[in-house]
Amino acid sequence: MTIEVALVHRFGTFALDATFSIGKPGVTALFGPSGAGKSTIANAIAGLFRPAEGRIAIDGRVVFDSAAGIFLPPRVRRIGCVFQDARLFPHMSVENNLRFGWRRASERATENEFARVVALLGLDALLARKPARLSGGEKSRVALGRALLSSPTLLVLDEPLAALDEARRNEILPWLERLRDEAALPMIYVTHAIDEVARLSDSIVLLREGRVAAQGSTFDLLPDIEFSGAAGASPVGAVFPATVAAEHAGEGLTKLAFDGGVILVPQLDRKPGAKLRVRFKAEDVMLARAAPGAISANNVLSATVTVVRVTDEAHADVQLAVGGIKIVSRITRASLARLDIRPGLQLFAIVKSVTVDSR
Amino acid sequence: MLTAAESEALLLSLRISLVAVVCALPFALGAALALTRFRFPGKTLLVGILHLPLVLPPVVVGFLLLIVFGTREPVGGWLLAHLGLRFAFSWTGAALAAGLITFPFQLRAIRLALAGLDKGIGEIAETLGAGPLDRFVNIVVPLALPGIIAGAVTAFAASLGEFGAIITFVSNIPGETQTLPLAIYSALQTPGGEVEAARLSALSIFLALVGVTFAELADRRVRALVAQ
């Protein structure tokens, strides 16, 4: 699966000029602040917006080429779309919403697959209801299911969680993770929320003022001070893949192995070998010049300083290499001076709190 | 209860109004769609022309119909010769006059309903594989249905009361073009016809009440169905 995008369009003073390609399956985050052109690109890929110039090809199939005068309408492109305002058909039951795209698909999913998607998104109890009687989170799930059941070759999710409050967002995120892991469908995920990028995406296209400012794998880019600087966001402490090494490592802990050592987390109900994603915040990483002795934190990682950047009057971000992965620690400038932290220095990173996601 | 003549006028009124509304509806829907979807030069003027029947004196509309659809006029003559359609001095002509006069009521209501539709809903339907006709039948019409029904009911009620255009175009022929208002007028022209006029007027009031109540119930029912 490859998606090639090259777009040029002007809206008054705003100029969109973005070129990127997505080579791997999985979730690609179109990430950037509001007004960076993310939604415009998503709409152009879906066929809901026709840019002045450019070319879009999905798996070698050209769906838009201004030079050749090609513009396939959305119903021919068959890209499953989910927007933040769910856009359910208000006059149809949930089941008929789900079956709308399903009925019109050239290769229709079987009833078994239909039932599987319904179960995957927890929609069984909602099938007979009208959209007006659904909560915001339920609407999002129905919109996801409807897009999925139209047998698309690609899913475009345009800020699907932006209209939801924190609690609802956390309710939907696990469904999105399941979708990513089980549907095996490439997804383009538009968002301005870095925590959603960290949790869901496999790769990132960073957009700023209509241009691609950075592109790469999530594990590589997110815990990178330069990237967070370009994104204008706080750096993520770390996000890296890990596998379960020992489910019961004693004392209610599970041991995870990653490219740089092992990490202990509270007991997980996952079998050895299961692939997981480990995240932590830059604020939750402390630095020490000597190995700390009596300390409550379980995870002390041996690290090498690679980049130091002063972020404001009081704080500095320190980027470190732990084996093959990058982590970032946010400390005060006072600590930076007291410990004399500079690139090349070997020290110990103490991780106070770790979040584990699927994959 | 009702005399034979009275029930004849009543049934004729209902039939003429029903035919008028049903026949004008597709035109109103088409015009509303075109006005909502497309931008073209002279659009404002066209909107004005389409609303003319609302503001013109009905007698002018009746006269214009007479000029165009009279059996000896080109259009009316052609319709009679080739399609066997006769409007002059016939109940079909009364329906044509009523339909034309009440056309703006339907057009306005449907335009409002279409303008209120969420563009995003149509876009999503398109990404799910629905073509233009598919979207019209399965998305646009069901969602605009409350407006379409409201327009039709208003037009029906207005048709029942149409007087000037009908009497000018197709005259006042009992059993053919004499609707309730025309029957009331005739009764008033007859010495001692006040009682008859009063009975027919009471019938008109009753009819209007039933119509309004029905419109209200239908609106509620449709809105519940569409759940908006």
Give the ipTM. 0.83
Predicted pLDDT of residue A33: 86
As a whole number, mean pLDDT of residues A110-130 equals 90
Sign of the Cα pseudo-torsion (B49, B52, B53, B56, in order):
negative
How does the average pLDDT of chain A come out, rounded? 89
- Please count the other Cβ atoms lying within 10 Å of the Cβ belonging to residue A192: 19
Predicted pLDDT of residue A23: 80
Same domain, A200 and A82: yes
User: Which of A58, A71, A76, A89 has the most B C-beta neighbours within 10 Å, making it the best mutation to test the interface with B?
Assistant: A89
Same domain, A193 and A270: no
| pLDDT digits 0-9 by tens, A205-248 | 999 988 999 899 999 998 888 888 888 777 888 999 999 988 87
| pLDDT digits 0-9 by tens, B5-38 | 888 999 999 999 999 999 999 999 999 999 988 8
Q: Where among A234, A255, A272 does a domain terminate?
A: A234
B224: chain A residues, CB-CB within 8 Å: none
Q: Alpha-carbon distance A126 to A342, whole Å?
A: 57
Rg (CA), chain A: 22
Same domain, A119 and A255: no
B127: chain A residues, CB-CB within 8 Å: 46-48, 74-75, 77-81, 101, 147, 150
Which residues 6+ apart lie within 8 Å of B205 measured at CB? none
CB distance B121–A89 less than 8 Å?
yes
CA B14 to chain A, closest CA, distance in angstroms equals: 31
Q: Is the pLDDT of residue B221 over 80?
A: no
Predicted pLDDT of residue B227: 59
DSSP state of A235: P
What amino acid occupies position A35?
A: G
Q: Where among A234, A256, A272 does a domain terminate?
A: A234
Same domain, A283 and A225: no
CB distance B127–A131 less than 8 Å?
no
CB distance B127–A79 less than 8 Å?
yes
Q: Is the pLDDT of residue B149 over 70?
A: yes
What is the H or E stretch that residue A334 is in?
helix A333-338
As a whole number, mean pLDDT of residues A185-211 equals 91
- Per-residue burial over A12-42, b if 16 or more Cβ lie within 10 Å, else e, is eeeebbbebebeeebbbbbbbeeebbbbbbb
Predicted pLDDT of residue A107: 83
CB distance B129–A91 less than 8 Å?
no
In 3D, which of A196, B184, B194 has the Cα closest to residue A204? A196
Q: Are A64 and A71 in contact (CB under 8 A)?
A: yes
Same domain, A32 and A180: yes
Same domain, A94 and A230: yes
* CATH number of the domain residue A118 falls in: 3.40.50.300
CB distance A104–B118 less than 8 Å?
no
Q: Is the pLDDT of residue A305 over 80?
A: yes
- How does residue A53 score in pLDDT terms, banded at 50, 70 and 90? very high
As a whole number, mean pLDDT of residues B73-93 equals 85
| Token pair listed for B72 | 């000896």
Q: What is the three-class DSSP state of A94? A: helix
What is the H or E stretch that residue A81 is in?
strand A80-83
As a whole number, mean pLDDT of residues B104-132 equals 92
Q: How would you write chain B as a 3-class SS string?
A: CCCHHHHHHHHHHHHHHHHHHHHHHHHHHHHHHHHHHCCCCCHHHHHHHHHHHHHCCHHHHHHHHHHHHCCCCHHHHHHHHHHCCCCCCCHHHHHHHHHHHHHHHHHHHHHHHHHCCCHHHHHHHHHCCCCHHHHHHHHHHHHHHHHHHHHHHHHHHHHHCCCHHHHHHHCCCCCCCCCHHHHHHHHHHCCCCHHHHHHHHHHHHHHHHHHHHHHHHHHHHHHHHHCC
Residue that is written with structure tokens 């999710």 in the block: A157
How does the average pLDDT of chain B come out, rounded? 89
Same domain, A54 and A180: yes
CA B143 to chain A, closest CA, distance in angstroms equals: 7
Which residues 6+ apart lie within 8 Å of B29 measured at CB? B110, B148
Select from B127, B130, B143 the Cβ nearest to the Cβ of A91.
Answer: B143
CB distance A131–B226 less than 8 Å?
no
| pLDDT digits 0-9 by tens, A133-181 | 998 889 989 999 999 999 898 999 999 888 788 877 887 888 888 888 8
Return the residue of A nearest to B225 by Cα: A91
- How does residue B50 score in pLDDT terms, banded at 50, 70 and 90? very high
User: Which of A91, A98, A102, A104 has the most B C-beta neighbours within 10 Å, making it the best mutation to test the interface with B?
Assistant: A91
Tell me how far the alpha carbon of residue B63 is from its chain's centroid.
18
| Token pair listed for B203 | 């019938």
CB distance B127–A75 less than 8 Å?
yes
Per the structure, the count of domains in chain A is 2
Q: Alpha-carbon distance A19 to A9, whole Å?
A: 12
DSSP state of A283: G
CB distance A47–B127 less than 8 Å?
yes
What is the H or E stretch that residue A200 is in?
helix A194-200
* CATH number of the domain residue A327 falls in: 2.40.50.100
Same domain, A176 and A324: no
- How does residue B62 score in pLDDT terms, banded at 50, 70 and 90? very high
Predicted pLDDT of residue B96: 94
Least confident interval from A171-180, A182-191, A196-205? A171-180
As a whole number, mean pLDDT of residues A240-268 equals 87
DSSP state of A91: T
Q: Is the pLDDT of residue A313 over 90?
A: no
Q: Is the pLDDT of residue B46 over 60?
A: yes
Beta bridge partners, A236, equal A281
| Token pair listed for B146 | 């409350």
Q: What is the DSSP string of A96-156?
A: HHHHHHHHH-SSPPPHHHHHHHHHHTT-GGGTT--GGGS-HHHHHHHHHHHHHTT--S-EE
Predicted pLDDT of residue B70: 83
Residue span of the structural domain in which A146 resides: 3-234
Same domain, A211 and A249: no
Residue A289 dihedral angles phi and psi, to the nearest 5° = -80, -30
As a whole number, mean pLDDT of residues A253-280 equals 89
Sign of the Cα pseudo-torsion (A351, A353, A356, A357, in order):
negative
Q: Alpha-carbon distance A217 to A205, whole Å?
A: 9
Select from A73, A83, A85 the Cβ nearest to the Cβ of B126.
Answer: A73
| pLDDT digits 0-9 by tens, A2-46 | 899 999 998 888 888 999 998 877 899 999 888 888 999 999 999
Q: What is the three-class DSSP state of A343? A: coil
Q: Are A28 and A41 in contact (CB under 8 A)?
A: no
Same domain, A292 and A255: yes
Predicted pLDDT of residue B226: 66
- Give the CA distances from residue A77 to residues A46, A186, B50, B143, B144, in Å, rounded to whole numbers and listed in that order: 7, 15, 39, 26, 28
Q: Are B25 and B154 in contact (CB under 8 A)?
A: no
Residue B40 dihedral angles phi and psi, to the nearest 5° = -150, 160
- Give the CA distances from residue B51 to residues B44, B45, B102, B126, in Å, rounded to whole numbers and listed in that order: 11, 10, 9, 33
Select from A47, A48, A104 the Cβ nearest to the Cβ of B128.
Answer: A104
Residues 107-166 of B with CB under 8 A from A: 118, 120-121, 123-131, 134, 138-139, 142-143
Select from B128, B131, B142 the Cβ nearest to the Cβ of A150.
Answer: B128
User: Which of B117, B118, B128 has the most A C-beta neighbours within 10 Å, making it the best mutation to test the interface with A?
Assistant: B128
Same domain, A230 and A83: yes
- Please count the other Cβ atoms lying within 10 Å of the Cβ belonging to residue A194: 18
Return the residue of B nearest to A107 by Cα: B129
CA A167 to chain B, closest CA, distance in angstroms equals: 26
CB distance A75–B118 less than 8 Å?
no
As a whole number, mean pLDDT of residues B118-133 equals 92
Predicted pLDDT of residue A312: 85
DSSP state of A359: -
Same domain, A289 and A229: no
Specify the pairing of strand A187-191 against strand A27-31: parallel
CATH topology (fold) of B4-226: MetI-like fold (1.10.3720)
Q: Alpha-carbon distance A170 to B15, whole Å?
A: 60
CA A38 to chain B, closest CA, distance in angstroms equals: 17
A78: chain B residues, CB-CB within 8 Å: 127, 129
